[in-house]
Amino acid sequence: RSIQWFPGHMTKTRRMITANLSLVDAVVEILDARIPVSSRNPEMDRLTGGKPRLLILNKSDMADERTTQQWLHRLRRSGCAAVAMDCKSGKGVKQFHPALRELLKEQIAQWRAKGLVNRPIHVMVVGIPNVGKSSFINKMAGGKRAKVEDRPGVTRTKQWVKLGDGVEMLDTPGVLWPKFDDQQAAQRLAFTGAINDDVLDIEALAMLLLEYLHEAYPQALTARYKINLPEGTEGRILLEELGRKRGMLVSGGEVNTERAAITLLDEFRSGKLGRITLEVPENEGA
Ligand code: G4P
């Protein structure tokens, strides 16, 4: 999950995606349901041109159910095909085939009119590191497939993997770079563990996450850390309170804020704070 994206890598990936696009009927873009905006690659729209695209909001088991429904609604209303699933347990993966056929229904009708009845549907899977590309492929293709390497571009010779129901997928997904140059997106990616902690100071990161949680999911902080502080409390105070409640003190009675920060991030990432979404569709409110 910690690849370094250099301009050379980006160029290679761009080239790979463009070259493979002509081989596929649709692009399956995997996103993290907790950060549907920040987990999108900044150039994806441009890279895929007019290719039909199916968005998968993965890790929906960790996201706020209600917000995921709002996202699906919003995306579909704006013309994007989208489904939510959990590729770890496999919940929701059955929606893939019907959603893909719906997306390509005109194309399929045209093939049929030309007598191409059993023409397979070819797809390419793309996404930033850690969104669950390998998990998706493993679930769809059954059996164990090789772990996707966090390396940009496709490195092996192309092979098609059968996903059942007449769908074939390029065996190696496109690993895309995340939105580094958007500070807020970078923070949210770091909250979920999608990019390295060392991109940002861990305590600063924890304070930002605490401020968001305190505003949007105060009950989660109360339930887990017994934090009961007034609205608008600064992240530093929240972090100190967390450490105090957990007894993370150093000599002199001060709070070990670094330990508190690590605890918060670990527990958030492993879902111990409950189902939390970090981005809500505009105008929906938190
Ligand atoms: P990638 O190919 O896009 O890089 O992602 P990958 O499938 O390797 O998944 C990254 C991590 O996210 C893995 O956890 C994986 O189990 C987890 N994951 C993928 N899909 C889901 C999902 O829908 N829900 C949840 N809760 N987790 C998901 P890991 O900690 O790296 O490994 P492990 O926990 O599987 O041992």
pLDDT on residue 1: 47
Cβ 29 vs Cβ 57: under 8 Å: no
Any known ligand binding at 88? Answer: no
* Domain topology for 201-269: Conserved Hypothetical Protein Ylqf; Chain: A; domain 2 (1.10.1580)
Q: Same topology for domains 7-175 and 201-269, yes or no?
A: no
Among 53, 65, 73, smallest CA distance to 92 is for: 65
Provide the residue ranges of all domains of the chain, joining segments of one domain with +.
Answer: 7-175, 201-269
Instruction: Please tell me the predicted confidence (pLDDT) of residue 157.
Output: 59
Answer for the pair 184, 39: CB distance below 8 angstroms, yes or no. Answer: no
Q: Is 138 in the pocket of ligand 1 (CB under 6 A)?
A: no
Over the chain (286 residues), the average pLDDT of each successive run of 10 is 75 90 96 97 90 97 98 96 97 97 97 94 95 93 59 62 90 87 92 78 96 98 98 98 96 94 97 98 70
Q: In 3-state terms, what secondary structure has residue 121?
A: strand
d(CA 175, CA 180): 15
Rounded distance between C-alpha atoms, residue 30 and residue 133, angstroms:
7
Q: Whose CA is nearest to atom 12 of ligand 1?
A: 132
Tell me the CA end-to-end span of the chain in Å, nearest whole number. Answer: 29
Q: Is the ipTM of this complex over 0.90?
A: yes
Ligand 1 centroid from CA 149, angstroms: 13
> Ligand 1 pocket: which of 62, 135, 144, 154 to mutate (most atoms <8 Å of CB)?
135
179 is an annotated ligand-binding site residue = no
Ligand 1 centroid, distance to 271 Cα (angstroms) = 13
Work out which ligand 1 atom sits closest to the CA atom of 30: 3
Report long-range pairs for 44-52 (Cβ below 8 Å, ≥24 apart): 44/126, 44/176, 47/14, 47/17, 47/18, 47/21, 48/17, 48/21, 49/21, 51/21, 51/24, 51/25, 51/26, 51/27, 52/25, 52/26, 52/27, 52/81, 52/103, 52/104, 52/107
133 lines ligand 1 (CB under 6 A): yes
**DSSP H helices in 119-277:** 133-141, 183-192, 202-216, 218-225, 235-245, 257-269
pLDDT of residue 266: 96
Cβ neighbourhood burial of 118 (10 Å; 0-12, 13-18, 19+): exposed
Ligand 1 atom nearest to 148, measured from its CA? 2
User: Residue 251's pLDDT is what?
Assistant: 86
Q: Has domain 7-175 been given CATH number 3.40.50.300?
A: yes
